Amino acid sequence: MPKNKKRNTSHRGGSGGGGSGAAAATAATAGGQHRNVQPFSDEDASIETMSHCSGYSDPSSFAEDGPEVLDEEGTQEDLEYKLKGFIDLTLDKSAKTRQAALEGIKNALASKMLYEFILERRMTLTDSIERCLKKGKGDEQRAAAALASVLCIQLGPGIESEEVLKTLGPILKKIICDGTASIQARQTCATCFGVCCFIATDDITELYSTLQCLENIFTKSYLKEKDTNVICSTPNTALHISSLLAWTLLLTICPINEVKKKLEVHFHKLPSLLSSDDVNMRIAAGESLALLFELARGMESDFFYEDMESLTQMLRTLATDGNKHRAKADKRKQRSVFRDILRAVEERDFPTETVKFGPERMYIDCWVKKHTYDTFKEILGSGMQYHLQSNEFLRNVFELGPPVMLDAAALKTMKISRFERHLYNSAAFKARTKARSKCRDKRADVGEFF
């Protein structure tokens, strides 16, 4: 991070791939011997890997079971052995195998802190990611970018993550700006570029360059003068959303002077995205606006926005949207979010959220903190709680202090086994079914009475 920006200020709070090609990554050695087979093509990848599946487990299991798997079903050595196999498979001739290996490594790093292990293999991992980004296509590039994000989260700020960003940054930028590349790959690369810069950069010029790159992408969705009052979504809309969210994340660590410049440019253009026909774009634009208002008021308590009346009217409309042509789920999600956004803009209020992890809890009490949490939650998935407990970088970001040390007995009492979770879910399902049956019986009785 730039040296002249504050890490613990009031402006800073405290979509990766997974498992689609899991079967392919199981192609490895059995019994600890390295396989020695002829390279194979994508067409016979599934057949080849099926015959070599005894050595490594399904990579998707890391995401599903999390770190509990290590305690109950294996050891640290087992995991590291599997990861070494996955790292070797990133050099495989088959694109499907490489993709699944990348996803397996990403899922493992998202669910377990393996700092020492990856520190020793940082250059190898970086080289593998670089090769897959350069030579891969579509899903492979997406998986490589997702792994790069988790790699930087594991390493935290420092020279190691700076070198990762220095190596991968130009490639990520090239893919983001490449109109012929897969939208999903460009979308994940935009998120990765923003997150890695957030973690690793110590150069203010590099931070500004990344901001400008992302800005050039999402501003293409701004309402043009010749356009109608509604912004129609395009295949690039998802990329624009990811770029906007990554840009907003980086804005939270910018120096005050740069924040003021960005506010002057975007405060009057960003509301045009609220008229998009894509619900995710509307929500992303609304949350970014709420965060910008929070930053502006943090710098100037008497901050005045000229078009406040028209903006609040637009937000109020979205918070009570009842358009029949929109899906019910979209309307429900949108109304819930925009009620909070309207309160933030009008009343400077934020509904505090509580996040529990282990014996600890964290209070999300501002938009900056919420946006930061949502970004890392999107990348780490179910591993977010584990990282909040153990990852020193994330604990510094959210001002949680040093990790809380717990003995084995305390951990065992806190942990719920998979069987207990299954029993709990079954009981809850039975209770819901019984309640629905009673409700149906009552309706039937009323119908017979009339």
Question: Is residue 364's pLDDT more than 80?
Answer: yes
Question: At 234, is the pLDDT very low, low, confident or very high (cuts 50, 70, 90)?
Answer: confident
Across 138-144, average pLDDT = 96
What is d(CA 122, CA 115) in angstroms, rounded to the nearest whole number? Answer: 10
- What's the pLDDT at 265? 93
Across 326-343, average pLDDT = 86
What is d(CA 150, CA 393) in angstroms, rounded to the nearest whole number? Answer: 12
Instruction: Kindly state the tokens that stand for 128.
Output: 């593998």
Question: Is residue 290's pLDDT more than 70?
Answer: yes
What is d(CA 174, CA 185) in angstroms, rounded to the nearest whole number? Answer: 12
Could you tell me the residue ranges of all domains in the chain?
78-203
Question: Is residue 253's pLDDT more than 70?
Answer: yes
Which CATH architecture is the domain 78-203 placed in? Alpha Horseshoe (1.25)
Q: What is the mean pLDDT of the chain?
A: 81
pLDDT tens digits, one per residue of 313-331 = 999 999 988 676 677 777 8
Report which residue type is found at 387.
Answer: H
Backbone dihedral angles phi then psi of residue 44, each to the nearest 5 degrees: -100, 15
Contact criterion met (CB below 8 Å) for 33 and 27: no
Question: Is residue 280's pLDDT more than 80?
Answer: yes
- What's the pLDDT at 407? 55
For 147-156, 238-247, 321-330, 362-371, which range has the lowest pLDDT when averaged over its residues?
321-330
What is d(CA 335, CA 317) in angstroms, rounded to the nearest whole number? Answer: 9
Across 89-116, average pLDDT = 95
Largest Cα–Cα distance of the chain, in whole Å?
78
Instruction: Kindly state the tokens that stand for 21.
Output: 């090609």
Q: What is the 3-state secondary structure (H, E, C) of 256-307?
A: HHHHHHHHHHHCCCHHHHHHECCHHHHHHHHHHHHHHHHHHHHHCCCCCCCC
What is d(CA 286, CA 291) in angstroms, rounded to the nearest whole number? Answer: 9
Q: How far is CA 215 from the centre of its chain?
A: 19
- What's the pLDDT at 292? 96
Across 305-315, average pLDDT = 92
Q: What is the 3-state secondary structure (H, E, C) of the chain?
A: CCCCCCCCCCCCCCCCCCCCCHHHHCCCCCCCCCCCCCCCCCCCHHHHHHCCCCCCCCCHHHHHHCCHHHHHHCCHHHHHHHHHHHHHHCCCCCHHHHHHHHHHHHHHHHHCCCHHHHHHCHHHHHHHHHHHHHHCCCHHHHHHHHHHHHHHHHHCCCHHHHHHHHHHHHHHHHHHCCCCCCHHHHHHHHHHHHHHHHHHCCCHHHHHHHHHHHHHHHHHHCCCCCCCCCECCCCCHHHHHHHHHHHHHHHCCCCHHHHHHHHHHHCCCHHHHHHECCHHHHHHHHHHHHHHHHHHHHHCCCCCCCCHHHHHHHHHHHHCCCCCCCCHHHHHHHHHHHHHHHHHHHHCCCCCEEEEECCEEEEECCHHHHHHHHHHHHHHHHHHHHHHHHCHHHHHHCCCCCCCCCCHHHHHHHCCCHHHHHHHHHHHHHHHHHHHHHHHHHHHHHHHHC
CA angle 170, 157, 83 (to 5 degrees): 80
pLDDT tens digits, one per residue of 20-41 = 444 444 444 334 444 443 333 3
